[in-house]
Amino acid sequence: MTNNDVLRRVRYILKYSDHQMIELFQLAGHAVRLEEVHAWLKKIDDPLLVPIADRELALFLNGLIIDKRGKREGPLPKPEDPLSNNMILQKLKIAFNLTSDDILEMFNSSNKQLSKHELSAFFRKPNHRSYRPCMDQYLRNFLGALNARCE
């Protein structure tokens, strides 16, 4: 999955307007223009599509966390760059206040069987021996299940 896919799907799940998208970036301390958001949200086959960088997607997801959960004390979190599927999954888990059991149930509802150990491996540090990269199909299935859950 590309960062643009993630951005489009999260927007679709939450039914956010362009201005709500801009507000999420602002919550994370980053100003974006309407033209940038439009360019990031274009379909994959559109020649005017502009790829959204890892840093910008991390800022968007940080803004989503602040919007959904409230601002924490202290400085704003630094955006990750590079951003992995594992980090995206972690940020969405935080933003939507999901437990591991919630996520397992969501995977099972999307016919993607996942054990507790496999899921916990996604949330480990990359240098941990049990770390496992979250492949695109897992993130895609998670976003599909999240969409079904939010309807």
Q: Quick: pLDDT tens for 88-121.
A: 999 999 999 999 999 999 999 888 889 999 999 9
Where residue 126 falls among pLDDT bands split at 50, 70, 90?
very high
Helices (H), the chain: 3-14, 18-27, 34-41, 54-69, 85-95, 100-109, 116-122, 136-150
Residue 76 lies in a domain: no
Is pTM, for the whole model, over 0.85? yes
Domain range holding 17?
3-69
Are 64 and 19 within one domain?
yes
Residue 74 lies in a domain: no
Count of domains observed in the chain: 2
Tell me the one-letter amino acid at 11: R
pLDDT exceeds cutoff 90 at 151? no
Residue 80 lies in a domain: no
CA distances from 44 to 8, 97, 139 (A): 10, 30, 18
Residue 75 lies in a domain: no
Distance in angstroms (rounded) separating the CA atoms of residues 104 and 113 = 8
Are 91 and 48 within one domain?
no
Q: Quick: pLDDT tens for 15-69.
A: 999 999 999 999 999 999 999 999 999 999 999 999 999 999 999 999 999 999 9
Are 64 and 91 within one domain?
no
